[in-house]
Structure 1
Amino acid sequence: MVNTRSRSLPNEEMEGALASGEDRIGALPDDLLQNVMSFLLSRDAMRTCVLARRWSTLWKSVPALRIEDDLATDSNKFVDELLRLRDPAPLNVCDICDVSEDSDTEDPETFCEEAYNRIAPCLRYALLHQVRVLRVSAPVFPTDLVLVSSHLKRVELCHMQFEDSLDFSSCQVLDVLEMTDCNIYAPIICQSLRHLNMKGGCFDNEVRYHISAPNLVSLKLAPESGLTPLLDSMPSLVTASVESSEEEFHHCFALLSCDDGCTREETFSVVLEGLSAATNLELTSDDLKQRVNGTDERYAPKKQSLPSKHLKIVKIICGLMKDDARVYRALKMLCAHGVPFEKIDIQ
């Protein structure tokens, strides 16, 4: 027999507490309340100061900054006051989202520089207070983005544009870097990085830059356009996924320049060169142009760039048909670089 009374006790107790006016939330310890408040936008967390005397200062030590405002308006004054009044407690998370749309300038570059100047104080404050997770979503063009931290473990960037080096070497414990809809015209450097994910945005169309992250375990590159970067040695790599809207962006050509002076042969696969340690590899291209010269195109590289001893499976994802000439070409290229046919999965 099921004891229905035991199940109803919590509801009865809750109803009794509500009837008596008992403050159950107020009975929670400060650190637990502040942890709950850390999921609120900072503007809302600050508003809790009017609830009761005890709440008047709780918001000051919440271990998160979450700012989602039009920082081009009076909201910027609120952010200044927030940073001034907050206690110097360490931060777990700093989440900045500038939703500004209007500007006095019609120059896109000036607009982005102004936007960066608005979020820069928050970035400096977060790094000074040992932030571990940093998220920035803003249409900015940071000309002097330098992150120095021995605590930062995760960085997520959205809608930003980079033309100076993305050097995270001064972030000794940075583990995850995610970039969404970012335009990158610079090398990416980080010794500690283990997970790199880029979705949308673009790389340069004329210069092929480097990604130097020797401790990567997982890599996902899915830009909308641009030359696939040169990938330095990644001996710890386990899974890799590289997508390109145009297949030719995976290869070297005499007319295209690498940032360090490329001596590779024409049609050399820069993707395969950098992913030789991967256990699982996925290459995707939805290019509609078929770069096939004749019906018996031969791919005979001077040397193997992918003598992989670790690769377990390669996926070739076809947007249209499996008998597409590009699939045939990819098979020949992979086999020429030492990938056994039985390890190739065509989907």
Structure 2
Amino acid sequence: MFPRAKMRKMSAASSGRVKIGDLPEDLLRRVVSLLSARQAVQTSALSRRWRHLWRSAPLLRIVPDEGFQTVRGLNEFVKHLLLLRDGAAPLDACVINFYCCEFDSYRYPSSDEPDVGLWLRHAVSRGAQLIRVEVYVEDEPVCLPDLPLVSNHLRVLDLRLVEIKDSLVDFSGCPSLEHLKFQGGFINARRISSPSVKHLIIDGSGFNRKFRTRISTPGLISLELEFWGSTPLLEGMPLLVTASVNLDHECRDRCANTEFWDCGDPECDDCDVMVSDGDGCVLLQGLSGATTLELTTESRVFMFRRDLMWCPIFSKLKTLLVNEWFMTSNMSGLACLLEHSPIVEKLTLQLSKEPRNFVEIEDSDKPCKQAFLFKNLNIVEIKCQEGDERVKKILKILSQNGIPLAKINVLQTKRRPRRKLSTVVHIILCLDI
């Protein structure tokens, strides 16, 4: 007669059903990794087999749940968690993700700072290949320790809503790092450097307004750059393939009086261009090796127009997208870019929905450059809103410079009709707002 446990397994196998307890331990560890750190520890109460699985789970997720009411309680828990983890077990990934405002006692930050730096160093020392840190604080971001990361295993680093200083962004000690992302937060460093990073995203992060942060990533393949504060200086990126740079109204390099970088007003703080790095390109030189390039900016941000004074040769560029910043008299800025892009095949001109906020093209019959500058273009796309009068002027200047109208596609978006005030009031009343 078979033992009951064996009979249950045979019955489950014959019915085609597999219980979670029948899975091998490697799979069970991955199941535990899907839980928060606190929930993973609680699985030790399920049975003797589950007692120590959490100690060697390949993914560590430090996130708050209903078990923590204070930052201090979370700090104490994680400290003991890290001490009790199996030191020989590899850690594939570590995710630190919480909002400090979720805790009752975070109104006293001096006594209850989250130990994010300690957790980050632990993940690095355990050979984590992926690390993501996202810690939201209402007043000021949590400042990570100003210490370099040293790891032969780290491949992906994603830092969100935290403050970063100099030593932390020196990634010379991380030869395997390929994906680097900064989202939100503040980069208070004079230099970001990595010989191995291939993909860099800076999305909504801030840079110090008193100096330019230099970005040295010679192995970079793709770049996405959108920020506030001073424009960072891009060093050479010979392997760059795709790049997207957006300079919005929060960029430091702008002027409310002019579209260029010197309005002539000695009291204008906006025109205080930092010259500590000397003359030369800030952005375009580093982007000159790209095959696909998007350059968009708010009209008063002058960085692209300033960089054209030292415009490099874009010897590999085939696809180019720009918005209104090129729209000076006869589009001389655009002509300069095309002159320095000998093999460009597709050009997209993206016009905003609010043309009154931008510089209008002056009407002139004089071509801006000789026609041969544009002979390699196969297609030009103009994206605009229906009825945009600027399109006529653009078509005129392009045709004067050797681009047949047959190669130009105008993609218009229909304007949304404005609702009458009585209609809006009727809708609000119907919604009972």
- The yes-or-no answer on 1:39 pairing with 2:31 is no
| C-alpha distance in structure 2 between counterparts of 1:170 and 1:121, whole Å | 18
SS in 1 for 2:72: coil
Contact 1:276 1:307 (C-alpha < 8 Å) held by counterparts = yes
| C-alpha distance in structure 2 between counterparts of 1:342 and 1:181, whole Å | 35
Cα gap change, 1:163/1:241 in structure 2, threshold over 3 Å: closer, same or farther?
Answer: same
Cα gap change, 1:204/1:177 in structure 2, threshold over 3 Å: closer, same or farther?
Answer: same
How far does residue 105 in structure 1 lie from its aligned partner after superposition? 4.9
Corresponding position of 1:274: 286
| C-alpha distance in structure 1 between counterparts of 2:206 and 2:329, whole Å | 23
Give the 5 Å matches for 1:174-185: 174-185=177-188
Q: Which deviates further from its counterpart, 42-51 or 333-342?
A: 333-342
SS in 2 for 1:233: coil
Give the 5 Å matches for 1:171-250: 171-186=174-189, 187-223=191-227, 225-246=228-249, 249=253
| C-alpha distance in structure 2 between counterparts of 1:326 and 1:27, whole Å | 74
| C-alpha distance in structure 1 between counterparts of 2:207 and 2:183, whole Å | 12
Corresponding position of 2:273: 256
Two-structure CA RMSD over aligned residues (Å): 3.3
Q: Which deviates further from its counterpart, 331-340 or 91-100?
A: 331-340
Residue type matched to 1:85 in 2?
Answer: L
| C-alpha distance in structure 2 between counterparts of 1:52 and 1:300, whole Å | 66
Contact 1:306 1:338 (C-alpha < 8 Å) held by counterparts = no
| C-alpha distance in structure 1 between counterparts of 2:327 and 2:229, whole Å | 23
Residue type matched to 2:274 in 1?
Answer: S
- The yes-or-no answer on 1:57 pairing with 2:52 is yes
Corresponding position of 1:310: 316
In the TM superposition, what whole-angstrom CA distance separates every residue of 1:27-73 from its partner, at most 9, and x where no partner exists? 11000111222222121111111111111111111111100136623
How far does residue 204 in structure 1 lie from its aligned partner after superposition? 2.2
SS in 2 for 1:77: helix
Contact 1:227 1:249 (C-alpha < 8 Å) held by counterparts = yes
Corresponding position of 1:152: 154
Structure scoring higher RCO (CA < 8 A, sep ≥ 6) equals 1
How far does residue 76 in structure 1 lie from its aligned partner after superposition? 1.6
- The yes-or-no answer on 1:67 pairing with 2:57 is no
Cα gap change, 1:290/1:245 in structure 2, threshold over 3 Å: closer, same or farther?
Answer: closer
Cα gap change, 1:252/1:217 in structure 2, threshold over 3 Å: closer, same or farther?
Answer: farther
Cα gap change, 1:226/1:127 in structure 2, threshold over 3 Å: closer, same or farther?
Answer: same
| C-alpha distance in structure 2 between counterparts of 1:132 and 1:210, whole Å | 26
In the TM superposition, what whole-angstrom CA distance separates every residue of 1:307-332 from its partner, at most 9, and x where no partner exists? 121111111145xxx99549935414
Cα gap change, 1:178/1:300 in structure 2, threshold over 3 Å: closer, same or farther?
Answer: closer
Contact 1:206 1:256 (C-alpha < 8 Å) held by counterparts = no
Cα gap change, 1:145/1:47 in structure 2, threshold over 3 Å: closer, same or farther?
Answer: same
| C-alpha distance in structure 2 between counterparts of 1:164 and 1:344, whole Å | 38
TM-score (norm 1): 0.78
Q: Which deviates further from its counterpart, 124-133 or 92-101?
A: 92-101
How far does residue 194 in structure 1 lie from its aligned partner after superposition? 0.5
Corresponding position of 2:166: 164
How far does residue 137 in structure 1 lie from its aligned partner after superposition? 1.1
Contact 2:142 2:163 (C-alpha < 8 Å) held by counterparts = yes
Give the 5 Å matches for 1:50-129: 50-69=45-64, 72-88=71-87, 89-101=89-101, 102-103=105-106, 105=108, 115=113, 118-129=115-126
| C-alpha distance in structure 2 between counterparts of 1:77 and 1:23, whole Å | 38
| C-alpha distance in structure 2 between counterparts of 1:41 and 1:263, whole Å | 50
How far does residue 342 in structure 1 lie from its aligned partner after superposition? 5.2
SS in 2 for 1:55: coil
How far does residue 283 in structure 1 lie from its aligned partner after superposition? 1.0
How far does residue 274 in structure 1 lie from its aligned partner after superposition? 0.8
Cα gap change, 1:336/1:173 in structure 2, threshold over 3 Å: closer, same or farther?
Answer: same
Which of residues 133, 136, 139 is equivalent to 1:136?
Answer: 133
How far does residue 121 in structure 1 lie from its aligned partner after superposition? 2.1
Cα gap change, 1:283/1:299 in structure 2, threshold over 3 Å: closer, same or farther?
Answer: closer
TM-score (norm 2): 0.64
| C-alpha distance in structure 2 between counterparts of 1:169 and 1:181, whole Å | 24
Gaps (5+ residues) in structure 2?
Answer: 1-10, 136-140, 255-259, 263-270, 351-433
Residue type matched to 1:144 in 2?
Answer: D
SS in 2 for 1:270: coil
- Sequence identity percentage: 36
In the TM superposition, what whole-angstrom CA distance separates every residue of 1:208-267 from its partner, at most 9, and x where no partner exists? 1200000000010011x2222111111110000111114783998884336xx32215xx
Cα gap change, 1:220/1:326 in structure 2, threshold over 3 Å: closer, same or farther?
Answer: farther
